[in-house]
Amino acid sequence: MAQLTLSDLPRAVREIVERQPITDMHTHLYSPNMRSPHGPLLLWGADALLTYHYLVAEVMRWSDVEPEEFFGWPVQRQADLIWQKLFIEHSPLSEAGRGVLTSFKALGMDVRSRDLGDLRTALAGVSAEQQVARSLQLAHLDHVVMTNDPFDDAERPFWLSGGRPQAGFHAALRIDPLLRGWSEAVPRLQGWGYRVDGALSGASAAEVQRFLHEWVERMAPLYMAVSLPPDFTYPDGTVASRVLAECILPVCREAGIPFAMMIGSERLVNPALRTAGDALGRAALGYVARLAREYPHNRFFVTVLSRENQHELIVLARKFRNLMVFGCWWFMNNPVIIEDMTRMRLELLGTSFIPQHSDARVLEQVIYKWAHSRAIIARVLVDKYADLMATGWVPERAEIERDVADLLHDNFWRCVGKQP
Ligand code: FIX
Ligand code: ZN
């Protein structure tokens, strides 16, 4: 058996983490064959990378342009402003700024000239399919889970016409309107022929179940998912509580899929910024414990958006084996916080969690998000294995490979109950 020495450890762990194929369990990417009535759904390329909503929020701090005017510009002009303000007039030290450069570099693009025209030209003639293959290979991903919303008119036609994502892309059935916009969801469901009403009376619950079962059948999702505001709670006498208990959880159980709760997003705190205008809030997580306890036959993926909720969530995961903590979501996806969260999770849960997801909205973001996270995860693991070695416990290479595979790949597939 290959036993490692303390001096071999950092290189060995880095190598193992680099070589481990990852299943990216939450993205906003689309399979390249998915189209809306207006064109392909997948975003990729230099202008899409530069107009990521994380960077839109940052450019607004340096520019006087009104958000409404900015969003009316063609995407190239928006990208020009972001390049000028966040890369030329100031250094791109934020995680989202640095990320663009990490991705460009990995794709073989030379950022030294600082000429955005050159960077755009470097991708000319590349097809979406080629770029998908290249990006997944550079990020070393074997499977990507999308976010698929049956209320989204852009993607509904693809699924309704029997479309299937290409190999390696998997659906996640996202149902936010059922839990955070029921009064708007009702007329839409009615329009599609489901007999529901605002009070969830009569046949409504059965009809929502029928709606969910039909979409499970159509999308074959690996899990069902929702993002919840910080003040969501359960049960609270609202229709949302009943939709959760009477529709969502039973369908997840019958379909054998976990339910993912992404907790703490405060939508449109600044509506003028659109997707860039969301913020976060701390949540009271008592209901997560309650759901895990009262529904032992449901499996829950949970991630929380407030830094202040991280420790509490990890402690809850120690209590409930049907609760799988995942990812460093959105405003948590910064090196300082990823490192802190990963250390805390390892110290309280061992390797029984899923350390990261990319949340990529633009294809090439998987390159930087995973490069940055792999480096942090490796660094933390080196420290933790070194602590073990100080006791005389010498980890074998195969044991480290097993642990890293659990973290970056196998824990997810075990939790969804499927073989990749
Ligand atoms: O709700 C979500 O899945 C969020 O991740 C997104 O909607 C958010 O806008 C985002 O892109 C965060 O990374
Ligand atoms: Zn997301």
Is 249 inside a domain boundary? yes
Is 157 inside a domain boundary? yes
Q: Cβ(331) to ligand 1 under 6 A?
A: no
How much distance in Å is there from the Cα of 90 to the middle of ligand 1?
Answer: 26
- Indicate if 25 and 73 belong to the same structural domain: no
Which residues are in the CB-under-5-Å shell of ion ligand 2? 359
- Indicate if 292 and 243 belong to the same structural domain: yes
- Residue-wise over 306-345: b if at least 16 C-beta within 10 A, else e? bbebbebbbebbeebebbbbbbbbbbbbbeebbbbbbbeb
Instruction: Ligand 1, residue 147: give the atom nearest the CA.
Output: 3
Is 154 inside a domain boundary? yes
Assess whether pLDDT exceeds 80 at residue 413: yes
Residue whose CA lies nearest to ligand 1 atom number 2 = 227
Q: Cβ(333) to ligand 1 under 6 A?
A: no
Is 4 inside a domain boundary? no
Q: Cβ(320) to ligand 1 under 6 A?
A: no
How much distance in Å is there from the Cα of 11 to the middle of ligand 1?
Answer: 34
Non-local (6+) Cβ contacts of 362 within 8 A are 43, 44, 45, 48, 49, 52
Q: Which amino acid belongs to residue 275?
A: T
Is 2 inside a domain boundary? no
- Indicate if 394 and 381 belong to the same structural domain: yes
Six-digit token string for 157:
């036609």
Per-residue model confidence as pLDDT tens digits over 234-268: 999 999 999 999 999 999 999 999 999 999 999 99
- Indicate if 136 and 105 belong to the same structural domain: no
Nearest of 134, 123, 27, 145 to residue 79 by alpha carbon: 123
In CATH, what number is assigned to the domain containing residue 268? 3.20.20.140
- Indicate if 340 and 363 belong to the same structural domain: yes
Tell me what pLDDT residue 72 has. 98
- Mutate-to-test residue for ligand 1 from 174, 223, 267, 359, highest number of ligand atoms within 8 A of CB: 359
Assess whether pLDDT exceeds 60 at residue 395: yes
Tell me what pLDDT residue 129 has. 96
**Residue 281 sits in which domain range?**
9-42+128-416
Last residue of a domain, one of 122, 151, 172: 122
- Indicate if 50 and 141 belong to the same structural domain: no
The mean per-residue pLDDT over the stretch 361-383 comes to 98
CB 41 within 8 A of CB 165: no
- Indicate if 318 and 183 belong to the same structural domain: yes
- Indicate if 312 and 404 belong to the same structural domain: yes
The mean per-residue pLDDT over the stretch 76-103 comes to 98
- Mutate-to-test residue for ligand 1 from 30, 224, 261, 265, highest number of ligand atoms within 8 A of CB: 265
The mean per-residue pLDDT over the stretch 296-300 comes to 98
What percentage of the chain carries pLDDT values higher than 90?
98
Q: Which amino acid belongs to residue 211?
A: F
Assess whether pLDDT exceeds 60 at residue 291: yes
Please indicate, yes or no, whether the overall pTM of this predicted structure exceeds 0.75.
yes
- Indicate if 214 and 74 belong to the same structural domain: no
- Indicate if 168 and 86 belong to the same structural domain: no
Is 3 inside a domain boundary? no
Residue whose CA lies nearest to ligand 1 atom number 12 = 330
How much distance in Å is there from the Cα of 262 to the middle of ligand 2?
Answer: 8
Per-residue model confidence as pLDDT tens digits over 299-333: 999 999 999 999 999 999 999 999 999 999 999 99
- Helix intervals (H) in 181-238: 182-191, 204-219
In CATH, what number is assigned to the domain containing residue 80? 1.10.2020.10
Q: Whole-angstrom Cα distance, residue 200 to residue 182?
A: 10
Assess whether pLDDT exceeds 60 at residue 86: yes
The mean per-residue pLDDT over the stretch 90-95 comes to 98
Q: Whole-angstrom Cα distance, residue 244 to residue 259?
A: 10
Using pLDDT thresholds of 50, 70 and 90, give the confidence band for residue 3. confident
CB 412 within 8 A of CB 23: yes
Instruction: Ligand 1, residue 227: give the atom nearest the CA.
Output: 1
Q: Cβ(227) to ligand 1 under 6 A?
A: yes
Between the alpha carbon of residue 209 and those of residues 77, 191, 196, 218, 262, the distances in Å are 45, 16, 11, 14, 21
Per-residue model confidence as pLDDT tens digits over 332-346: 999 999 999 999 999
How much distance in Å is there from the Cα of 268 to the middle of ligand 1?
Answer: 12
Q: Cβ(275) to ligand 1 under 6 A?
A: yes
- Indicate if 367 and 260 belong to the same structural domain: yes
How much distance in Å is there from the Cα of 26 to the middle of ligand 2?
Answer: 6
Number of domains the chain is built from: 2
Tell me what pLDDT residue 403 has. 99
Last residue of a domain, one of 106, 122, 138: 122
- Mutate-to-test residue for ligand 1 from 145, 261, 278, 330, highest number of ligand atoms within 8 A of CB: 330
The mean per-residue pLDDT over the stretch 125-153 comes to 97
Is 197 inside a domain boundary? yes
Q: What is the mean pLDDT of the chain?
A: 97
Instruction: Ligand 1, residue 330: give the atom nearest the CA.
Output: 13
Residue whose CA lies nearest to ligand 1 atom number 1 = 227
Tell me what pLDDT residue 1 has. 55
Last residue of a domain, one of 76, 105, 122: 122
Q: Cβ(62) to ligand 1 under 6 A?
A: no
CB 229 within 8 A of CB 265: yes
How much distance in Å is there from the Cα of 348 to the middle of ligand 1?
Answer: 27
Instruction: Ligand 1, residue 361: give the atom nearest the CA.
Output: 11
How much distance in Å is there from the Cα of 114 to the middle of ligand 2?
Answer: 30
- Mutate-to-test residue for ligand 1 from 28, 49, 278, highest number of ligand atoms within 8 A of CB: 28
How much distance in Å is there from the Cα of 314 to the middle of ligand 1?
Answer: 21
Q: Cβ(330) to ligand 1 under 6 A?
A: yes
- Indicate if 138 and 118 belong to the same structural domain: no
Q: Whole-angstrom Cα distance, residue 18 to residue 184?
A: 45
How much distance in Å is there from the Cα of 20 to the middle of ligand 1?
Answer: 26
Tell me what pLDDT residue 124 has. 86
